[in-house]
Structure 1
Amino acid sequence: MTFVLLTMIASVLVTMTIADRLIIPDAGSKKVVAAAADAGGTPGFKKEELAKLNAVLELIETRYYEKVEREELLDGAVSGMMEALDDPYSVYMEKDDALHFSESIEGSFTGIGAEVTTENGKIVVVAPIKGSPAEKSGLLAKDVLISVNGDSLAGLNLQQAVGKIRGPKGTKAKLLVQRSGVTEPIQLVLIRDDIDVETVYGALRPDGVGVIEIRQFSLHTAKRFKEELAKLEQSGMKGLVLDVRNNPGGVLPIVVEISQLLMKEGTTVVQVEDRDGNRDKTLAKGGEAKSYPIAVLTNKGSASASEILAGALQEAAGAKVIGEQSFGKGTVQVSYNKALGDGSLVKMTIAKWLTPNGNWIHEKGITPDLVVEPPDLYTVARISLQETLKQDTLSEAVRSAQIMLHGLGYEPKREDGYFGDETVSAVRKFQNDKGLPSTGEIDTKTAQKLEQAVIEWIQNKEHDVQLLEAIRAVSRK
């Protein structure tokens, strides 16, 4: 199952990536033909359909006012068929994009580190990857990308948006973003960079609670998870927290392999339902029910494979899901490359996935057992400073500054974007504490210090209320 990543792979900012796809290494034309025959249809174009396509091709080649490469026409025709499905997860990738897609599955890529999809013709962020330029800039799940470096993304499909956003490592990507609850668009400036290929981080707290953070489910993630889990168990772990916040997904067999390690053998991990309603259950093998309590941390950026893990452990292993409602992607995609024969690739939705109890979470998400919203400082938009912010001005940048000041312990008394007397006093207190001139105005240096203070606050694990609640949950058990 897959989304499209805003993570540039080999200098691509947005490209196809790793959100839960079934890997079929030899999905060649014979399998495609067999599937069509099983469905009761005749594979390939009928004679009259082929004649129609050839007629259009001939008209373009003989009458169109400019010469057009046949390869471009063929790519356009295949893309058109996939777009006609009206499914954001079914796409055609030309050779270069197909190569980038394969690299992303292996967990190696360069870019800004955020995954996107399309919703109602808009380019929507699924999740920023932890530690990436996207996360550091303040890009959030459900943000809508309006433009990149001044080029509008309105009306573009994913492949066209990819073309607009491409660029080499080290270059700037100026994103104009529309965010729910914010009246004015937000401008974020990101620098494309290498994205950390490590996907699993484990640590044992002094209280005996183990925390394993899974940032995505790429091909090596299961191996790394086994290593970290074994270390924690050997160290006497008393409870386990699995953190899949802002994890956009990955490879389906990998999340199954991880899930079943924590489940009783023979229990259902996930169900896959085809278009005829036939269900195939994947049962846990080789694992065992754990004696220690387990909690899974989710947020709006937990998608696909992350939701499979959360749903499996919640319904079939007694784990508690804590945090926010997850993204809500419940479909399965398969990638076919051998059938096309030229290095290009078709990724197509072929089924739904369901939780062990048969729930389809598509466009709904996994509901936490305990809802814990993050502090405002985790979601506040970074200050987009066009000019110095002064008293009696009104803007979204002022509102962001007020939220930051309040979260850091300074009291602007309001968070509506109006730069009043109380905000002036709060800014002066902050400037005094940071050794800045006490002007009561927010210039570039003050804005930078303010954002730096927010980042440092967020990096302090003692402020992570979602994580702390998950730790308390497994400690109580």
Structure 2
Amino acid sequence: MNKNVKLLLIIILTAVISSGLTLTLAKPETIVQEKEVQQNPDFAKLVDTYEKLEQKYYQKTDKEKMVDGAINGMVESLGDPYSAYMNAEDSKSFNETISSSFEGIGAELQEIDGQVMIVSPIKGSPAEKAGLKPKDKIIKVNGKSVKGKTVNDTVALIRGEKGTPVKLGIERGGSQQLEFSITRDEIPIETVYTNVTDDNIGRIQVTTFSEKTAADFSKAVKNLEEKEVKGIVIDLRQNPGGLMDEAIKMSEMFIPEGKNILQVENKDGSREAYRSENKDPVTIPSAVVVDEGTASAGEIMAAALNESADIPLFGEKTFGKGTIQTAEQYKDGSSIKFTIAKWLTPGGTWVHKKGIEPGEKVSLPSYAKLPYLDPSKPLKPGDASKEVKTAQAFLNALGYRTEENGLFDPKMKEAVMNYQKDHDLKQTGIIEKDTAISMLTSLQELVKKNDTQMNKAIEALKK
């Protein structure tokens, strides 16, 4: 494929919480030239309002803030969660973190109906380690409500330096209220991870699509080919998207010449097909694993491989984000990002707000979706709460039987002490910080060991 694709596919315009406003996007290449508006009657009211406020408002006005507010208002009037205006400071931070590491908690965000929602935590990030999950809604930051605030506003409250804490109030499942205390850290932009199973099946996990993802993915595939693996599982779970051109390059590696990778539908309804030009596609039997955190460019790749390379999909229905954004920068360093088109699957399906249903539906064990166990809140005998019930579910999943009744009774204390004994912890019968962290780690290891979605894909390739 020799088309110079410069479209930016964005799952969320202010996606990664960090010390700056960051997202894995290519730097904006188009400089928007400011135009004289006096000759355009549509702007007469805007200019008149600006002049009246500047001349007659009873206090001194901030011209920059007024202009920023006007632009931001125009973008917000679109009602599109994927379009946004960023001032020079946020735009600078945004661009600086595209191909480097950044400091933050590492979570992809999206704004829906006035609420900021987590699309996916980044692999290995503080957000993932703390237990944040896709579709968690952020309702408080450091005890202050963020209801009605934009993604930009919320990110401004959350971002901060490495080593500093931030408390997030989360609404999960429409009713459950949780609080997370997360320490910000440096988040490396490493997006491709690979290993080989004992059954000689190669696994490639792609966490997001950034500037070097396609190159790293190509190296991983070639490495597995040299090892003569029996099959390849491409893990796109919790992948919130990123650069569209990277997803296209990666998909084309598996798609024969002439077949569609995707279609783009423009404002006027016209469509353009992006077709593979690969005369020597990868022929190793392959499979793709997806879930509700697979979005945007991740969905492009999943759909392309499934429809044009007959590669089966395993897991759960994807997020459903089917629009394309571009980024343009003003001379003062500020920028706007806005939706310019729809993307469609090779066969012409628009997955927006619908998602992609895998052919092989596989769910993770129920304990993989347990609520977060907060290490900052000790649980002791006599306590009765939802947090106690969560801890009981953790203990049961880890093989320490107790009733899940929300009451820290003698049976639960015995289970806690047995867990502490088996894990070389002080046997207090109280779930304090060290015990809670150990239980979180043990559960993560259990989920990894019993990864039913990955195991199903591997079994299919072994046949």
**TM-score for the superposition, normalised by structure 2:** 0.91
Q: Tell me, yes or no, if structure 1 residue 447 matches structure 2 residue 440.
A: no
Q: Within 5 Å, which residues of 2 pair with 1:16-415?
A: 16-18=22-24, 25-26=29-30, 28-29=32-33, 47-180=40-173, 183-286=175-278, 288-337=280-329, 340-384=330-374, 388-391=378-381, 393-414=383-404
Distance in 2 between residues matched to 1:293 and 1:353, nearest whole Å? 27
Distance in 1 between residues matched to 2:206 and 2:375, nearest whole Å? 34
User: 1:151/1:287 Cα in 2 relative to 1: closer, same or farther (>3 Å)?
Assistant: farther
Q: CA deviation at 1:446?
A: 3.2
Aligned residue number for residue 5 of structure 2 = none
Q: Which runs of 5+ in 2 are unaligned?
A: 1-8
Q: CA deviation at 1:157?
A: 1.4
Distance in 1 between residues matched to 2:38 and 2:458, nearest whole Å? 58
> Aligned to 2:16, what secondary structure does the other structure show?
coil
> Aligned to 1:114, what secondary structure does the other structure show?
strand
In angstroms, what is the RMSD of aligned CA positions? 2.4
Distance in 2 between residues matched to 1:45 and 1:396, nearest whole Å? 61
Q: CA deviation at 1:65?
A: 3.0
Distance in 1 between residues matched to 2:252 and 2:298, nearest whole Å? 14
> Aligned to 1:350, what secondary structure does the other structure show?
strand
Alpha-carbon contact 1:107-1:218 (below 8 Å) kept:
no
Distance in 2 between residues matched to 1:351 and 1:27, nearest whole Å? 20
Q: Which runs of 5+ in 1 are unaligned?
A: 34-42
Alpha-carbon contact 2:376-2:433 (below 8 Å) kept:
no
Q: Tell me, yes or no, if structure 1 residue 462 matches structure 2 residue 437.
A: no
Question: Residue type matched to 1:381 in 2?
Answer: P
Q: CA deviation at 1:374?
A: 1.8
Q: CA deviation at 1:383?
A: 1.9
Alpha-carbon contact 1:330-1:354 (below 8 Å) kept:
yes
Q: Tell me, yes or no, if structure 1 residue 7 matches structure 2 residue 13.
A: no
Q: CA deviation at 1:284?
A: 0.9
Distance in 2 between residues matched to 1:153 and 1:237, nearest whole Å? 49
Distance in 1 between residues matched to 2:428 and 2:225, nearest whole Å? 55
> Aligned to 1:147, what secondary structure does the other structure show?
strand
> Aligned to 1:297, what secondary structure does the other structure show?
strand
Alpha-carbon contact 2:108-2:121 (below 8 Å) kept:
yes
Alpha-carbon contact 1:262-1:290 (below 8 Å) kept:
yes
List per-residue Cα deviations over 1:134-183 (Å, max 9, x = no partner): 100000000000111122211111222222223122211111111016x4
Alpha-carbon contact 1:268-1:282 (below 8 Å) kept:
yes
Q: 249-258 or 200-209: which moved more?
A: 200-209
Question: Residue type matched to 2:29 in 1?
Answer: P
User: 1:195/1:161 Cα in 2 relative to 1: closer, same or farther (>3 Å)?
Assistant: same
Q: CA deviation at 1:250?
A: 1.2
> Aligned to 1:185, what secondary structure does the other structure show?
strand
Identity %: 38
Q: CA deviation at 1:186?
A: 0.9
Distance in 2 between residues matched to 1:385 and 1:237, nearest whole Å? 41
> Aligned to 1:336, what secondary structure does the other structure show?
strand
List per-residue Cα deviations over 1:62-84 (Å, max 9, x = no partner): 33232121111101100000000
Distance in 1 between residues matched to 2:437 and 2:151, nearest whole Å? 34
> Aligned to 1:105, what secondary structure does the other structure show?
coil
> Aligned to 2:193, what secondary structure does the other structure show?
strand
Distance in 1 between residues matched to 2:97 and 2:355, nearest whole Å? 24
Aligned residue number for residue 40 of structure 1 = none
User: 1:401/1:322 Cα in 2 relative to 1: closer, same or farther (>3 Å)?
Assistant: same
Q: CA deviation at 1:380?
A: 2.2
Distance in 2 between residues matched to 1:199 and 1:247, nearest whole Å? 10
Distance in 2 between residues matched to 1:226 and 1:150, nearest whole Å? 45
Distance in 2 between residues matched to 1:45 and 1:383, nearest whole Å? 59
